[in-house]
Amino acid sequence: MANISIIGGGSWGLAMALLLHKNKHSVRVWEYNRENVLKLQKERQNEDYLKDIVFPEDIFFTNDKAEIFTHEPEILIFVVPSAFLRQTLQSFQILFSQNASKVKAVVSLVKGLEENSLKRMSEVCAEELPFCLNDKICCLSGPSHAEEVSKGIPTLVVVAGENPEVLEYVQNEFSNPFFRVYTTQDIVGVEIGAAVKNIISIAAGVVSGLGFGDNTMGALLTRGLTEIKRLGWALSADPETFSGLSGLGDLVTTAISTHSRNRYVGFQLGQGKKLDTILKEMVMVAEGIETTKNIRELKEKLNISMPITEEMYQLLYNGKEPLKALSDLMKRDLRNE
């Protein structure tokens, strides 16, 4: 049994808490939103994030940063929106320093790139955590919707990092009969796949919202995977990673699932709704919106062709009409595959 502290009480953080509790671990969850914490403490539920899920009494929820360290956690898990990761880490810095000696693994479930710096989430963690924890940083990704993990639906994921011993430790502590964890040392490839698939998922939603069919969706996912590979290769990722769980697996699942917030945004856009209206109606964050801007900036910096990403950027940030964006993709110059 391990002592585990989760920073972030959204849908994925809550699903992780439930999963790890089922694995007989001691779990404490910090959430910044005090109203959500009070609801979890009193009702043991948060229907806005996970419907029909009741959390056991011995999962500890708090809004007090110090309280998630009172059981001397061996595993730290970060599950906050990418735009807030650095400032969240900074707000915990003193506590991290005081408790670093007990920590065996740091697991990021955050997907995206940091604005302006364009750094991956594991790089942000490395800069803000005590140096002694750097070789313990890893990320977990794959086709894994929180709604299904919380219900024990069979799920396969991958944990990536530089230290094989840390990866094996996380693999053993997280795995159970319905949640199977693989390992890889290609953390660059895993994080890039996790980020870019959210952009392609928005595009998949647009395709569905416009009423297009399976031919269009199959083409979109195939060419979307090509964009993920191009960016990954430019950053020296292992090409094999993109055929795995954090590449093809996560891409397909996020693009076709009704659980996907990014697909939902794209679908609503395809149906004619304006982005501001869509976001006002959503409780949770669609990471792909911010990621589209950041990945677009990175691909421009690296001079990489990513036409789907470019069209989603024009749609989200410059008000391009969805049908025009899809039409312009079809009318690009013909070329070899």
Phi, psi of 141 (to 5 degrees): -150, 170
Bridge partners of 6, per DSSP, are 29, 77
The burial class, CB within 10 Å (0-12 / 13-18 / 19+), for 108 is buried
Kindly give, in sequence order, each residue whose CB lies less than 8 Å from that of residue 150, ignoring residues fewer than 6 positions away. Answer: 14, 15, 18, 19, 50, 53
H or E element that contains 3? strand 3-7
Q: State how far the alpha carbon of 305 is from the alpha carbons of 117, 223, 242, in Å.
A: 21, 11, 17
Q: Are 9 and 29 in contact (CB under 8 A)?
A: yes
Closest-CA residue to 160 (of 208, 206, 125): 125
Query: CA 328 to CA 146: how far, in whole Å?
Result: 35
Query: CA 119 to CA 301: how far, in whole Å?
Result: 13
Query: CA 75 to CA 70: how far, in whole Å?
Result: 13
State the catalytic residues.
197
DSSP state, 141?
E
